[in-house]
Amino acid sequence: MLIREMSESDISQVSSIEQKIFSEPWTKDDFTNAIRCKSNGYLVVEINNEIVAYCGYWGIAGEGDIYNVAVKQEYRGQQIGYHMLTELIQHGISKGIASYTLEVRASNTAAIRLYERLGFQNAGIRKDFYTKPREDAVIMWLEPIQ
Ligand SMILES: CC(C)(COP(=O)(O)OP(=O)(O)OC[C@H]1O[C@@H](n2cnc3c(N)ncnc32)[C@H](O)[C@@H]1OP(=O)(O)O)[C@@H](O)C(=O)NCCC(=O)NCCS
């Protein structure tokens, strides 16, 4: 398993995973714009030359907003998400990001448990944050990181 920075040539594979998983998927242009911004960090996980997972943060004033956490269905439950996010957090720390936040659907217990395992804590609810289907978001924070 190789965890490395996302490059523009990865985006068609990333986008096809994104379309399968999310009801409001990011477009290829969304990913291209995200990875071109120097204050953001995006990683992919590769197994046998295939991208099986990806994630990223947007860095704003020393804070990382995590988006687009996804592991291909057939590769879940193998600690890939855990290792990928551990690496993403280290990546951000090396660029001066000391705390992280994210939103997650209130019903998404797999993701919430993953984030809790990484040390994130529940910091409140954003009512009706999501559409398709409409649902509250749980806001989570990880801070401060040494
Ligand atoms: C959430 C997701 C990224 C987890 O990835 P994963 O590689 O399967 O997770 P891991 O194998 O690294 O699991 C790490 C921890 O997460 C939690 N977890 C993962 N899957 C779980 C599940 N189905 N049920 C409960 N807890 C789960 C557990 O705490 C697990 O630790 P453990 O194995 O010691 O119990 C993956 O299920 C996914 O891509 N889901 C669809 C997209 C999504 O919901 N993204 C998050 C948007 S905010």
> Got the DSSP string for 97-146?
--EEEEEEETT-HHHHHHHHHTT-EEEEEEEEEETTTTEEEEEEEE----
- Whether 70 contacts 30, CB under 8 Å: no
14 C-alpha to ligand 1 centroid (Å): 18
Nearest to residue 10, comparing CAs of 38, 39, 40, 42? 42
pLDDT tens digit sequence for 16-52: 999 999 999 999 999 999 999 999 999 999 999 999 9
The answer as to CATH 3.40.630.30 being correct for domain 2-142 is yes
Q: What are the pLDDT digits (tens) for 61-97? A: 999 999 999 999 999 999 999 999 999 999 999 999 9
Using alpha carbons only, what angle is made at residue 8 by residues 23 and 103, rounded to the nearest 5 degrees? 35
For ligand 1, residues with CB inside 6 Å are: 21, 69-71, 76-82, 104, 108-111, 113-114, 117
pTM, two decimals, is 0.97
